[in-house]
Amino acid sequence: MPEPHVELASKTTTRLRAPNASDGAAMWALVHEAGTLDPNSAYLYVLLADRFADTCAVAERDGRLVGMLTGFRPPRDPATYFVWQVGVSPVARGEGLAGRMLDEVVARHPEVRFLEATVSPSNAASEALFAGFARRHGAPLHRGEGYGAELFPRPHGGVPHEPEPLLRIGPFASPRSSTPERSLS
């Protein structure tokens, strides 16, 4: 009697970790691939991955970056984590990766009690991301003044930049513990 055919499921693991300087170029490329973020210089991503690694994260799958998060703790408000950019490759969208990166970075800093980000009104994906974060952490989400459209340069004949209202989430309901590098399936 022939043996039954057993199909093995392919399991891809996504690893979240702090970036390092050698990730900067891939972070820059991911921003361009994502197509939804304002691109900055490649140097800036190398700098962030090196000098701000403890407040940034990358998601790696099969040796390739499929997600990145940049942010920092403002020196005048160290209990707050400010999210600057979150980008996910089109091949990894819809998996909750952006939310897991946020949770990962905030868990590294148990002293952080608030999360802030500016989100333009047309960015429904980011609105949903931060609303979900607030729910998961049992924290209120407040909208306030951020950066008005008048602060941004207007390209010649181009579309003006949208305002960037400030979202502030917190204080968080429960303390979080530091999370080491981990893999997600």
Average pLDDT, the chain: 88
In this model, does residue 179 exceed pLDDT 90?
no
What CA–CA distances, in Å, run from 128 to 83, 99, 119, 132?
Answer: 14, 10, 11, 6
- Backbone φ and ψ for 18, nearest 5 degrees, come out as -75, 145
Q: Give the pLDDT confidence of 136-157 residue by residue, as tens digits.
A: 999 999 999 999 999 988 877 7
Q: What local confidence, expressed as pLDDT, does residue 3 receive?
A: 42
Nearest to 29 by CA among 13, 45, 15: 45
* Domains in the chain, CATH or no CATH each: 14-184 (3.40.630.30)
In this model, does residue 39 exceed pLDDT 60?
yes
What CA–CA distances, in Å, run from 173 to 54, 96, 138?
Answer: 23, 21, 5
User: Which has more pLDDT, 117 or 178?
Assistant: 117
Q: Give the pLDDT confidence of 86-102 residue by residue, as tens digits.
A: 999 999 999 999 999 99
Take residue 150 and report the two structure tokens written for it.
């008048």
| Local structure of residue 40 (DSSP, 8 states) | -
Angle CA 162–25–91, to nearest 5:
70
Q: What is the pTM of this model?
A: 0.85
| Local structure of residue 34 (DSSP, 8 states) | H
Average pLDDT over residues 120-138: 95
Q: What local confidence, expressed as pLDDT, does residue 8 receive?
A: 36
